[in-house]
Structure 1
Amino acid sequence: MNSFCHRNRQLADRAAEAPKWTAPYALNPATIAVDSGVLTGIVLKSLNGGAETVELPLTVSFLASGVARVTLDEKKRQLGQIELSNDRIRKERYNEAEKWTIVGGLDADTSIDSSAIFANDEITVVKYGPAKNFEAVITHSPFSLKFMRDGEEQIVLNDRGLFNMEHWRPRDSTPEEGVDQHGLFDESFSGKSDTKPRGPESVGLDISFIGYDHVFGIPEHASPLSLRETRGGGDGAYDEPYRLYNLDVFEYEFDSPMSLYGAIPFMQAHKKGGDVAVFWLNGAETWIDVVKKRTERTTTQTHWFSESGLLDVFVFLGPTAEENIKSYSQLTGTTALPQTFSIAYHQCRWNYLSQDDVAQVDAKFDEHDIPYDVIWLDVEHTDGKRYLTWDEANFPEPEKMLEALDKKQRKLVNIVDPHIKKDDNYHVYQGAKENDVIVKDNNGNNYEGWCWPGSSVWVDFFKPKAVEWWKSLMTYDAYKGSAKNLYVWNDMNEPAVFSGPEITMPKDNIHEGGWEHRDVHNINGMVFHNATALALMNRDGDKPLRPFILTRSFFAGTQRISASWTGDNLGNWDHLAVSIPMVLSNGIAGMTFTGADVGGFFGNPSPELLARWYQVGAFYPFFRAHAHIDTKRREPWLAGEPWTGYMKEAIRGRYRLLPTWYTAFRRASVDGMPVLRPMYLAFPDVEEGFGVDDQFFLGDSGILAKPVTKEGHDSVSVWLGDEQPYYDYSNYDVHQGKGQTTVYAPIDKTPMLIQGGNIFVRRDRPRRSSPAMKYDPFTLVVALDKDGNAKGRFYLDDGETFDYTKGGYIERTFTFDGKKATLRSDSLNDAAPGEFLKDMERVRVEKVIIVGANGQQLGQVHSVDVLQGGKKWETEVEYVKSGDGKVGVLTVRDPAVTITEDWTLQLRVGKIEL
């Protein structure tokens, strides 16, 4: 832990040990004003027993969404009334995180008037929210904010008096009482010096979640979904806080709060009957302590502190997790709707060595009849690790390689890292110098560090002209050998600097506008892949395809731009198991298009581990096999039978369910709901499920998966959160009753259940790639609930362009009514029929499988009446029993209905009893 972290934790210790602790911060009531949904005032920090004060401007914005935003600045820095030895550095606290992160949702609630405000000398109360059932209770001295919902405390800011804004002071100033002086004005790490020209400027705050035992979020960490305690708490507690500081972490630890590659400071607290959340908008290094105070009801006490920047906290009062996720998504954006190919299977390793190697791997997939969509190239494909170039000896004709892949409707992804080789003969380095877009060191010179190419520089993508220049480098003319089916992998963008402190960039480097790197470190990777996304869209002019970028570093807002993965994991069972809560944690914080390296980046997994990893990977939103250059080759066919068959079936299972995956991504792109749903989201009032993080639902489909993550296991215990029937995905055997149920899972099976009451869509014909499935017919699986009903939703568009934003899509609901014995398909798209809908008129439903058809009469169904487009015809059905003989399965074969028009299937029976 560095010095600012120590100081803030020492403050917490002093507060806990003091007989009566009073924080030295008070809101001056004479300065309070409320106008158009925004409260302003001045908080005073007392020094030397009140002999001096520091003014901290306060803004509390009550947003139309029901979210409250609390911001505190430091007036002296804000006005630039400080002296710095380096005149290239901005004097203010960093105040531009919003510029890169927030895209909407900031409209204030202008309906708040005097009737919603109560004030006296001690407190100010503001009622707000869409139903005016939220309250912000501001205590003036000592300063704190209490947020209430329906009259009950939910969140308290500065509950324990740990608010701390390190004010500016000259180096020779009188030491602040009780404050450790180490590291205030300079600091070293492993021999690397940090000059700290602005002196100490950390900001910290304790945030208490009243009555909440479970908190989730703040990825990225290799740890359980429900966050562990970090101070005390007995067995399982961590010794250090959770750290958010994007780093290149070699062989990261399992079950740890250590920093990894991404940082999203969004935390949800959940309990039976409600959910709240906070978003700590700060791009600097941040730490979070978590403590549980257990009395009659558990309260989770968290302590947040960042090295620099404003105090900028968004408070969400729900009351549901779904509403909080939606409100957070309005602020930071939703997951971009991906191209269909990108949610299929990707094959990668460091490195496919040559054009011939790519061709051979591609051919082997076809030879073994294994589908895949994308093959990847790592750093060795370049000319001496000069990005946007090719190694001419090993990749002499990249255009032909891409053309050959395109004929099979497959794609290629090349790595493009942010470090630029310092070479005067390299056009990218030349352009960076000429355009003056290189990050500066603390003396104002171009910063040089060491990375894969050797001596390197880094482009400052906070500069608008750097983005425009980057776009020019990726046009088809400029990037020789590129094509429409070439996409980009932005790795090492934390940024990784082998010669830097903690293998990253010095904090006192200087970016656009005079901001230090310490201010923007966690945002830095995001502005890089944002520039890449703009470059990919720019290359196709006014008819761009949706970009695909994979990033290792991410921040709040990355979901609008890029997919991510969990970095350099290990090929062992522990890392396989922890990948599930990692992906779930990313998802609830907005970063749902995430996966882990299938098989593990380091090591040589056993055939059993590799097979089980493919079964888990088939449920990662981003599904990619990847491996280190020193590992053995492990393409699926190399394991030999029966292992190759197990991996092949897992991949094919993903392709069958692509329509359901795409429908889940559609919802994520609309309201932010994660593609994979943890149990607390699915069953928000069932406390037994809140800590379950090794199983999940796939979107709204009702498909519940709990992959095997332990060696030698041939069954799993699945937790069911309701009394609905759950049907085994493979044989329709039924499991029913809240609590644990055992699902048999031999090595060739992924444990999957279908919750009764849901309808989802598959495509059951195997193809070599997802675009080859474009005109394939669909299968509907209708899993009846205990009352004989079911419903579902389906979404489809062209899977590559932005035409869906103009109505070029199909979205339908499916409803099975048990009493009427009918299955209906109804459109949710009111747009006039366009080119896409006309193109899809040939696509039909080839099969409907109704699971749970247990009534005696349904076993006697002999045919089905089909109604579509004013026409009526009849089709045949088949009735069988599940493997355990307890479930009736009714299959309607080839109803011949299209997916572009409404239709109804009427089961022809007598009296229906479901």
Structure 2
Amino acid sequence: MALSNLKTLFKGMQGMGLEAALRAVQYKNNVRALNHRYARHTPHGKFQTPGRVAAVEQRSRSLIVQAERAYIEIHLISPEIIRVRMKTDANFTPPFSYAVDRIDWPPPTLLVNDNGPSVTIKTENILCRVHKNPYKLSFESLDGRAICEDAEGVSWRDHEIRWTRQLPQQEWCYGLGQRASTINQRGKRVSLWNADPLPGYPRDADPIYTSIPFYIGFQPDFSFGILWDNPARGYVDVGATKANEMSFEAEEGELRFYFFAGPTLQAVLKQYTSLTGRMVLPPLWALGFHQARWGYDSDAVYRKLAQEFRARQLPCDVLYFDIDYMDGYRSFTWDRTRFTLMPTLLGDLQKQGFKSVAILDPGIKTDPDYPTFQTGTREDVFLKYPDGKPVTAPVWPGNCHFPDFTSAKVRAWWAEQIPILTQAGFAGLWNDMNEPSPIAFQRGTTLPDYVVHDWDGAGQTHVGGGHNVYGMLMARASREGLQKQRPDKRPFVITRAAYAGAQRYASTWTGDNTATWEHLRLSLSMVLNAGLSGMAFTGPDIGGFAGDPDPELYIRWFQLGSMLPYFRVHSMMGTASHEPWAFGEKIEQIARNYLELRYRLLPYFYSAFAQCAHEGLPIVRPLLMYDPEDEELRGLDDVFMVGDSILIAPILEPGAEKRDLYLPKGVWYEYDTGKLIDGSRTVTAAAPLERMPIYIKAGRVIPMWPVMQYVGEKPIEESILRVYAGSGDTTFYEDAGEGLGYQRGEYRWSYFTCKFLPSGQFAIEWRRAGQYQPPFRQWRVEIVGISADPERVLLDGQSAPIWYYEGGVVEFAVQPFTEARIAGRGHAEPSRTLPRAPHR
């Protein structure tokens, strides 16, 4: 037996027993044999380039460049988005893409100019220059500055393709998906090949679960984006091989990329998501706290878990059912011994305010008595090798076949299985192991890349098949199944594997991390990287999936997780319990405090989600998005912004009771104390175990709700507007939080402007737009940072009948107003605490 097989056998016997280990060895041997039979030969020789340009032809909104050895199409999608394709013939039919969502763009205005050595295409936003001898391409600002220039440019060798561009020294490099690294990708060579790195993946693990070939180049006065639209196995080399060059490579397929002209980082993200689609607003309950564990294995366990959360007054909205609930790990089943009456259990959990989410794996056990396998075989839904035999690989239930999610027929078949779960009472779906990931006890094991895929009728193979889009299309099928069953509800799907555009279908998480401080640090940078790649609704398994966190690590991770988009604790079978009460009373109380803070901030988080859904901006953002001109912010990934107004400085080192952080320009309030701090400098923040430093930008309005144990626990009678005195603008979004009424205009945007007037008064202007009317009619306004008892409070010119002043905070209850004025001085640290007494 080969040494590699012995290692696999040993690992498998340790982890899952002899039978699973033998299946893993058999699978690896089968793949080796198939590789010998079907794998492509290794390309040899030099890469070819197009050569000298012979002719240039304008076709409507495209320029067709005929060079010595290739044709290049430069197609204007919009004034800011340009698509470039290279082929060896001139047949540029409209391309098929799983990444691209929108194809109906109004024709842009363009000006083509042939000046001899080059041809330029100019729009109102960007200039694209085709150099003729030899063919090379550059993108320039309208005033002639080079933004993105070819090095070697486009090239090919046999079935391989490549595009190489210059990488200026001053360029910062962001995006490329959920990378387990810093946010600056410069100096890295990353794989584009979805793979399971297994629990405990190291920093810079590569490949990893997602492949999102979207890059943002940030230069001091210009940002731009590139989408390499090829899902084949590939690489992006960001100055790793040559410090001054960047290359996109793929083993096969068409050379096609999109250029996004920016010029700001925010504009690039808006342009990218306008092309690839944006996150659809999730149900409000999905923004609450989620609890999961591999090992919750019976009806009684879930009933006890729900009882503990409610008795301990720990807010929670979602409970997850990992593979333990299944009958022999078969998707679309449940164990009727341990979960005797699943619909009754889920109904009882729903009455207590818990939504239930079920895990689904794509592997369908090859069991002739298994209904899902029976229908899948009858309807011919499973992936095949080139010889027509079905792909078989071991997963949790044993040997499995895998649906071909690149087929519309197969996606519809998968969606038809969803009622098995929704009719039982499951509210959401958790797509796992969908790189796809056979169990072979080796990092990165997946299906061979010569597996044949339908490709929605195109019959593609030998381009990595549908590998990199597999997880995304499984999420699409799961979402479509939920939509069909519950057309009046918002679907909730979470996927481990993803490709560019997956944000249209699902949220994601950072995979099987480990209970270490290194993984705590990685979890933040991975969430930031995902957000800069269009996947904004994401978060880590708090506390680590594998391993046992000590109380300090757990609560520091919990504090961070409470401010991330996806807020979930999850852990592996065999580890210590990870529930908030498992670490003692002190940790439980700190966790309760941050749970309650999250639930108070739900309307603020929901506004950030709405901004993401409408504009494509991340929910949590690196500080460079706050002030791109500040060089100190460009590499920071240990602090972040939630939305536009809240800055979070998590504690990422053991034993730390304080930390240094660089505050961006402007004036900031410490959330806990109300103390004012000037930015553009490094400050030291106190951070005892119970405190994570949080800062609010002066001049912003933070909407808040009363604490609830779950979303919708009780009617909200009064909503809070906490105003931090200063000059600034805030946008706030409202809708019902569930259902699709918002798509029919049932929503409301509020626009706040805060400022100090020459008279010394502090003014709040409130403009509203939209049809939605919230169920509550009263607001409580709390203005932080008013240094003296106001002489009066004016609401639309009329004196307020009553207000309170205490410790620098003015408070009053109101109906919606157009302008409020506080006749007093603000913008100074409160210097005294006054008794809470009404002023009439």
| TM-score for both structures, normalised by structure 1 | 0.82
2:746 is aligned with 1:800:
no
Report the 3-state secondary structure (helix = DSSP H, G, I; strand = E; otherwise coil) of the residue aligned with 1:536. helix
The equivalent position to 1:166 in structure 2, one of 157, 176, 187, is 157
Equivalent AA in structure 2 for residue 103 of structure 1: D
Letter in 1 for 2:664: G
In structure 1, what residue type is equivalent to 2:779? V
Deviation at 1:37, TM superposition (A): 1.8
| Residue identity matched to 2:737 | G
Match of 1:314 in 2: 258
- 2:501 aligned partner, one-letter code: G
Which of residues 70, 80, 87 in structure 2 aligns to 1:73?
87
Query: What is the CA–CA distance in structure 2 between the aligned matches of 1:418 and 1:44, rounded to whole Å?
Result: 46
What is the rounded CA distance, in whole Å, between the counterparts of 1:862 and 1:155 in structure 2? Answer: 55
1:311 CA displacement: 0.9
Q: Deviations over 1:304-330 (max 9, x none)?
A: 111111111111221111111111011
CA contact (8 A) 1:26 1:143 kept: yes
Amino acid in the other structure paired with 1:844: Q
| 1:487 CA drift (Å) | 1.1
Q: Distance in 2 between matches of 1:526 and 1:474?
A: 17
Contact kept, 8 Å, 2:763 with 2:822, in 1: the verdict is yes
Residue in structure 1 matching 2:376, options 417, 424, 432: 432
Output the amino acid matched with 2:805: E
Structure 1 residues 908, 727: CA separation in 2 closer, same or farther (over 3 Å shift)? Answer: closer
Displacement after TM superposition at 1:162 (Å) = 5.9
SS in 1 for 2:713: helix
Aligned equivalents of 1:345, 1:270: Cα separation in 2: 35
How many residue pairs were aligned? 783
Q: Percent of aligned positions with the same letter in both sequences?
A: 26
Within the candidate set 771, 791, 810, 1:891 is matched to 810
* Whole-angstrom CA distance in 2 between matches of 1:376 and 1:621: 17
Is contact 1:615–1:707 with CA below 8 Å preserved after alignment? yes
1:680 paired with 2:624, answer: yes
Alpha-carbon shift at residue 776 of structure 1 (Å): 4.5
1:514 aligned counterpart, secondary structure:
coil
Hey, what does 2:121 align to over in structure 1?
126
Q: Structure 1, residues 792-849: CA drift from partner, whole Å, max 9, x if none?
A: 12111111111101111122112233215332322122x4xxxx52xx3434213x22
The one-letter code of the counterpart of 1:826 is R
Distance in 1 between residues matched to 2:631 and 2:584, nearest whole Å: 44
State the shift of 1:446 in Å: 1.7
For 1:104, the aligned partner's letter is: R
Select the residue among 710, 720, 738 that pairs with 1:779. Answer: 720
1:189 is matched with none
Pick the aligned partner of 1:532 from 458, 474, 478. 478
Q: 1:806 to 1:557 in 2, by over 3 A?
A: same
State whether structure 2 residue 778 is matched by structure 1 residue 849. Answer: no
2:657 is the alignment partner of 1:704: no
Tell me which residue corresponds to 1:264. 212
Q: Secondary structure at the match of 2:394?
A: strand
Aligned to 1:44: 68
In 2, the alpha carbon distance for the partners of 1:106 and 1:57 equals 25
SS of the aligned residue for 2:281 comes to coil
Return the alpha-carbon distance in structure 2 between the equivalents of residues 611 and 482 of structure 1. 35
Once residues 493 and 263 of structure 1 are traced to their aligned partners in structure 2, the CA distance between those partners, rounded to angstroms, is 13
Q: Distance in 2 between matches of 1:423 and 1:491?
A: 21
Per-residue deviation at 1:863?
Answer: 4.4
Given that residues 154 and 317 in structure 1 are in contact (C-alpha distance below 8 angstroms), is that contact kept between their aligned partners in structure 2?
no
Shift of 1:261: 0.4
Corresponding residue of 1:64? 78
Q: Distance in 2 between matches of 1:74 and 1:417?
A: 40
Out of 605, 608, 614, which is 1:664 matched to? Answer: 608
Is the 8 Å Cα contact of residues 757 and 783 (structure 1) preserved in structure 2? yes
CA contact (8 A) 1:65 1:327 kept: no
Letter in 1 for 2:728: A
Is 1:875 equivalent to 2:790 in the alignment?
no
Match of 1:728 in 2: 670
- Tell me the residue number matched to 1:864: 793
* Structure 1 residues 394 and 679: CA distance shift in structure 2, 3 A: same
Q: Which range is displaced more, 311-320 or 815-824?
A: 815-824
* Displacement after TM superposition at 1:490 (Å): 0.4
Distance in 1, Cα, partners of 2:68 & 2:282? 48
Q: 2:656 maps to which residue?
A: 713
8 Å CA contact retained: 1:36, 1:111: no
What displacement does 1:544 show?
2.5
| Separation in 1, partners of 2:383, 2:737 | 37
Aligned amino acid, residue 143 of structure 1: Y
Q: How does 1:738-777 map to 2 (within 5 A)?
A: 738-763=680-705, 765-772=706-713, 774-777=715-718
Tell me which residue corresponds to 1:275: 223
Deviations 1:257-315 (A, max 9, x none): 51110111111111222211211111111211122899xxxx85211111111111111
Residue 691 to residue 614, structure 1, CA distance change in 2 (3 Å): same
Q: Corresponding residue for 1:243? A: 191
Distance 1:519 1:687 in 2: 42
> Offset at 1:246?
0.5
Q: Find the counterpart in structure 1 of residue 24 from structure 2.
A: none
Q: Find out whether 1:141 has 2:133 as its counterpart.
A: yes
8 Å contact from structure 2 (residues 640, 647) kept in 1: yes
CA contact (8 A) 1:865 1:874 kept: no
Cα offsets for 1:6-52 (capped at 9, x unmatched)? 979x969xxxxxxxxxx64225323x21122201133433xxxxxxx
> What is the Cα deviation at residue 399 of structure 1?
1.1
Whether the 8 Å CA contact 1:782–1:790 is kept in 2: the answer is no
Q: Write the distance in 2 (CA, Å) between the matches of 1:737 and 1:348.
A: 39
1:124 & 1:4 partners in 2: Cα distance? Answer: 38
Q: CA deviation at 1:376?
A: 0.3
- Aligned position for 2:25: none
Match of 2:581 in 1: 637
Matched, 1:504 2:464: no
Displacement of 1:211: 5.5
Alpha-carbon distance, 1:514 to partner: 2.4
Tell me the equivalent position of 1:33.
Answer: 57
The 3 A distance-change label for structure 1 pair 251 and 272 is same
Superposition deviation, residue 96 in structure 1: 6.1
SS at the partner of 2:801? strand
**AA in 1 matched with 2:54:** P
Spell out, residue by residue over 1:746-776, the C-alpha distance to the aligned partner (whole angstroms, 9 max, x if none). 100111111212111112x322102225524
Output the CA distance in 2 between the equivalents of 1:908 and 1:123: 64
Shift of 1:119: 4.1
Contact 1:389-1:480 within 8 A present in 2 as well? no
Does the CA contact (< 8 Å) of 1:663 and 1:794 recur in 2?
A: yes
Specify the SS of the correspondent of 1:26.
coil
Q: Deviations over 1:704-723 (max 9, x none)?
A: 0010010000111121221x
Match of 2:27 in 1: none
Pick closer, same or farther for the CA change 1:663–1:156 going to 2, 3 Å.
closer
In the alignment, residue 459 of structure 2 is paired with which amino acid?
G
Unaligned 5+ runs, structure 2: 1-34, 829-840
Aligned to 1:301: 245
Compared CA separation, residues 663 and 773, structure 1 to 2 (3 A): farther
* Preserved contact between residue 622 and residue 636 of structure 2 (Cα < 8 Å): yes
SS in 2 for 1:363: helix
Equivalent-residue separation in structure 2 for 1:865 and 1:136 (angstroms): 55
Offset at 1:737?
A: 3.7
Distance 1:118 1:480 in 2: 61
Q: Distance in 2 between matches of 1:402 and 1:375?
A: 10
Displacement of 1:349 in angstroms is: 0.6
Partner in structure 1 of residue 13 of structure 2: none
Q: Which residue of 2 aligns with 1:904?
A: 819
Q: How far apart, CA to CA, are the structure 2 residues paired with 1:65 and 1:636?
A: 51
Q: Judge conservation of contact 2:197–2:444 (CA < 8 Å) in 1.
A: no
Name the residue aligned to 2:753.
815
Provide the C-alpha distance between the structure 1 equivalents of 2:673 and 2:40, rounded to a whole number of angstroms: 57
The one-letter amino acid paired with 2:822 is L
Counterpart-to-counterpart distance in 2, 1:737 and 1:480: 50
